[in-house]
């Protein structure tokens, strides 16, 4: 039995999901005649109290389309130094939109309204890039699945309103945050201009993200998606996986969070582990003692069929997900005791 804790993207579609995909009614989505895609977009927009949604093949494309939608070349987005758009989208902000990132030195991928204020350039100063957008990530990826305080986001929204800035949410794992903090999608729909959400992370779909916003914004985003090469045809087969995920895989994220916390406890007792970062959702980041190399630690766990990810900077990562069962949890906890 292989236990893969590398990422929550390693899940394979469950039987029920495959069934839903096989039975999907499809059409040519470029002609807007795929009923299942339209259903997914509407369903998500309604959940978040937004006017419209747009289906994307990846979260990267959804985020990049949002940046393009909200900016003109030479403008600037304020985001955290650990943000996915800056670190893990291949330099997309500069390549796709010709914009730069003004990085905040945040805490676990999160920052405060005051830190945003300090990064806003004076509109009347022609020497500095025009600030047009603030971007937030919830949960934070590099920050180890940390969840934002909704109160701080409200304050940032206010700062954006006062300075005529757009606010975009990279909600790749937003449902993990909603479940962990018992918050509602509408609360987020109200606070952000646009939101991107991954169906292929904790929700367990094989592919897909949805961008949410106003009718006008999604009309523009459709043109950008075409420009990025993301116009798709009978893609209802994939949208059906997303609908199934929304109907069946949200509440159960609490199991992933509980299992991650259990692994965290076992790691804290492990003699080779220096420290474990606070675990709020399904991502566990920990550091090893000098008495073991990360290669030896990984090799030992691999020999027990446990796969994990080394993130560099001394960070080790495990991520729980839909295909990580209670039985596998017992094995991991036992193996950690014997390292």
Ligand X SMILES: *Cc1c(COP(=O)(O)O)cnc(C)c1O
Note whether 172 binds ligand X by CB under 6 A. yes
Q: Of 32-40, 100-108, 193-201, 240-248, which segment contacts ligand X by CB under 6 A?
A: 193-201
Between residues 34 and 170, which has the closer beta carbon with respect to ligand X? 170
Question: Cβ(295)–Cβ(305) under 8 Å?
Answer: no
Please give the DSSP secondary-structure letter assigned to residue 121: P
Q: Which of 110, 198, 205, 253 binds ligand X (CB under 6 A)?
A: 198
Closest approach of Cβ 173 to ligand X, in Å?
Answer: 6
Closest approach of Cβ 274 to ligand X, in Å?
Answer: 25
Between residues 198 and 328, which has the closer beta carbon with respect to ligand X? 198
> What would the two tokens of residue 115 be?
């830190």
DSSP string for 156-204 = HHHHHHHTT-EEEEEETTHHHHHHHHT--HHHHHHH-SEEEEESSSTT-
Contact positions with ligand X (CB under 6 A) in 101-160: 137, 141
Closest approach of Cβ 63 to ligand X, in Å?
Answer: 6
* Distance (Å, whole) CA 51 – CA 44: 10
Between residues 7 and 121, which has the closer beta carbon with respect to ligand X? 7
* Distance (Å, whole) CA 70 – CA 332: 45
The partner residues of 133 in beta bridges, in order of sequence, read 77, 166
Note whether 11 binds ligand X by CB under 6 A. no
Note whether 93 binds ligand X by CB under 6 A. no
Q: Which of 58, 112, 121, 248 binds ligand X (CB under 6 A)?
A: 58
Closest approach of Cβ 178 to ligand X, in Å?
Answer: 15
- How many chain residues bind ligand X (CB under 6 A)? 13
Note whether 256 binds ligand X by CB under 6 A. no
In the sheet that 166-171 helps form, which strands lie side by side, from edge to edge?
A: 52-56, 209-213, 194-198, 166-171, 131-137, 76-80, 100-104
Closest approach of Cβ 310 to ligand X, in Å?
Answer: 17
Sign of the dihedral through C-alpha 230, 235, 240, 243: positive
Question: Cβ(304)–Cβ(335) under 8 Å?
Answer: yes
Q: Which residues are at the interface with ligand X (CB under 6 A)?
A: 58-60, 63, 84, 137, 141, 170, 172, 198, 200-201, 209
């Amino acid at each position: 039995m292989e236990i893969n804790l590398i990422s929550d993207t390693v899940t394979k579609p469950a039987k029920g999901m495959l069934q839903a995909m096989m039975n999907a009614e499809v059409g040519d989505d470029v002609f807007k005649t795929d009923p299942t895609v339209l259903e997914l977009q509407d369903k998500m927009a309604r959940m978040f109290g937004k006017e419209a949604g747009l289906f994307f093949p990846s979260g990267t494309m959804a985020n990049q389309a949002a940046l393009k939608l909200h900016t003109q070349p030479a403008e600037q987005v304020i985001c955290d130094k650990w943000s996915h758009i800056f670190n893990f989208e291949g330099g997309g902000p500069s390549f796709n939109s010709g914009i730069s990132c003004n990085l905040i030195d945040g805490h676990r991928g999160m920052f405060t309204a005051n830190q945003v204020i300090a990064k806003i350039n004076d509109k009347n100063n022609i020497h500095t890039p025009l600030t047009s957008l603030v971007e937030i990530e919830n949960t934070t990826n590099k920050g180890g699945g940390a969840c934002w305080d909704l109160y701080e986001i409200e304050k940032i929204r206010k700062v954006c309103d006062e300075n005529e800035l757009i606010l975009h949410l990279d909600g790749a794992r937003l449902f993990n945050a909603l479940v962990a903090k018992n918050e509602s999608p509408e609360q987020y729909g109200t606070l952000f201009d646009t939101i991107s959400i991954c169906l292929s992370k904790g929700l367990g779909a094989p592919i897909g993200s949805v961008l949410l916003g106003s009718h006008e914004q999604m009309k523009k985003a459709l043109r950008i998606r075409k420009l990025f090469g993301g116009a798709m045809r009978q893609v209802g087969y994939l949208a059906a996986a997303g609908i199934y995920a929304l109907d069946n895989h949200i509440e159960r994220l609490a199991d992933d969070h509980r299992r991650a916390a259990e692994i965290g406890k076992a790691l804290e007792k492990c003699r080779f582990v220096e420290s474990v970062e606070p675990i709020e959702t399904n991502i566990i980041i920990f550091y090893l003692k000098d008495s073991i190399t990360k290669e030896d630690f990984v090799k030992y766990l691999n020999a027990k069929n446990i796969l994990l990810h080394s993130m560099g900077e001394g960070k080790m990562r495990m991520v729980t997900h839909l295909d990580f069962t209670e039985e596998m949890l017992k094995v991991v906890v036992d193996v950690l005791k014997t390292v």
